[in-house]
Each structure stands twice: as C-alpha cells, then as structure tokens.
Amino acid sequence: MGTVRSADKAAALQAAGIDARVWDGQGALEVPEGANLLVSVPPNEAGCPVKKATARLLPGSITMTYLSTTGVYGDLHGGWAFESSPVAPASARAKARLLAENQWRERMGERLCVVRLPGIYGPGRSPFERLRAGTAQRVVKPGQVFSRVHVDDLASGLLALMQRPGASGVFHLCDDEPAPPQDVTAFAAGLLGLSPPSEVRIEDAGLSPMQLSFYSECKRASNARAKAALGWRPAYPTYREGLAAVLAAEQA
C-alpha cells in the first residue's frame, strides 16, 4: 500500500492491485503493523511531514527507509562521496533533507536506513524527451560529473534493504560510472539516430537558477557499501546500458 497526491494516480494504482490512498500531507497516516515503511515524500521547512503524521504508529514497523539526496555532502570538487563522508549541505533543498534525516534518526535510532540518491532516470525521464523536442543542450562545465541511478535499480536496491531487516545506516544506490552530462546526451542522441547537439559553455547555456544550482556541486557517489552489505548490483552499471533499456521500454 502507499500514498499518492491525486485521485487519478490512486485509481491507476488501485487498478493494478495496489492499495493506494490519497494523502495531501495533512493529518495522520495509518501504518499497518509489521510494515516496511518507505518515505519518499519531500521535506518542507519544518522537516519531514510523514514523521509528524506517523507519530504514534511506528513501533511495530519492521524496517524504516528514508529517501534523501547526495546533495547533503555539498560540493566535493569531483571527489568521491562515501556514506561516512562529512555532510555540508549548501542548498536549501539539501539542508531540508538533512533536517528530515536527523528527525527520523532521532526517532528510529539504529532501525533507520537512509538512502542518499543521485539523479534518477527511466522511461519518460531521460535525455530522450529533450532530444525529441529539439531542446537538448550539451552543457559543458569543465570537470563536471554527476552520479545517476536507473529507476529499476533504485527499486531493486530498496527491495534488498527491506529483505534485510538488520540493515541500518546510510546507503547510496547509484550506478558505477559518474559521467559528464554532455557525454550522456551525446550517447542518447546516438541511440535515437540523431546528431548530438553542439557543446555549449555553461555560461552561454541560458540555464535557469534551478538548473544552474545542479552544476554548483560536483561529486562522485560510491555504491560500494550497498554492494557489500546488501548483495545488490545495478542491472545498469552505466548510463549506456541504462539508456538503452529506457529506449527499449519506451518503444515496447
């Protein structure tokens, strides 16, 4: 079972046999006894709204997993982020995530798993949309790389966590190859049989403040702990296998 924000989404999931309930972020949430609780709801300025909504209902949960972001590490200038790396969030979004992490840690202690995620991609959420629309750019900032995870690898990693009730602490679910965004766009263009867009300097790309904020930090996320502790392996270890799978799924 799970929550969604609209009746349309609830109806679609219910048709697939999922007990989906509309929750607008207000009021109490009922957590069944023995649940594996997974929280993907974004935080607000007060932290995680789900924490308040489940104040009296968590003692019987088997596992508790909170989805956060690798943004809590701040800018590592291309260095590797490990689960033990110091946190230094710079953006308001990352600071809110860290606040929510700490709220759950205060309540759950050693029973908490925090999954710090990089960029997520999959069918309907990849460079293909912009390439098809003719709006894609190959924005270049020297030395810039991002870590990524295919949505299916995220799902398999979360399942692996839930199947190991003794797991706790911080995990990264990401692929094996952090890469420059312009390389990813060029590869996606090749899969579509298109010429890649010309490279454009970040100063000349006309990016919005939100888009620019993603380029303000550069880091590589390690997935070594998830592999060692959970026996998890990404089915799509790089963006190349992942984008090929996305295109196949969209064309099926």
Structural domain includes residue 26: no
Query: Residue 85 carries which side chain, given as an amino acid letter?
Result: S
94: domain CATH number?
3.40.50.720
Looking at residue 60, what is its pLDDT?
66
Structural domain includes residue 211: yes
Structural domain includes residue 228: yes
Structural domain includes residue 10: no
Structural domain includes residue 23: no
Q: What is the pLDDT of residues 109-149, one digit of tens each?
A: 888 999 999 999 999 999 999 999 999 999 999 999 999 99
Structural domain includes residue 24: no
**Which residues, 6 or more positions from 250, have their beta carbon under 8 angstroms from its beta carbon?**
123, 124, 128
Q: What is the pLDDT of residues 9-35, one digit of tens each?
A: 999 999 999 999 999 888 888 888 888
Query: Residue 162 carries which side chain, given as an amino acid letter?
Result: M
Looking at residue 58, what is its pLDDT?
62
Give the span between the Cα atoms of 34 and 209, in whole angstroms: 43
Query: Residue 210 carries which side chain, given as an amino acid letter?
Result: M
Structural domain includes residue 70: yes
Q: What is the count of structural domains for the chain?
A: 1
Looking at residue 158, what is its pLDDT?
97
Domain extent for 98: 31-251
Looking at residue 228, what is its pLDDT?
97
Structural domain includes residue 159: yes
Q: Could you identify the residue written with the tokens 């109806």?
A: 11
Terminal Cα distance for the chain, rounded: 28
Token pair recorded at residue 114: 């925090």
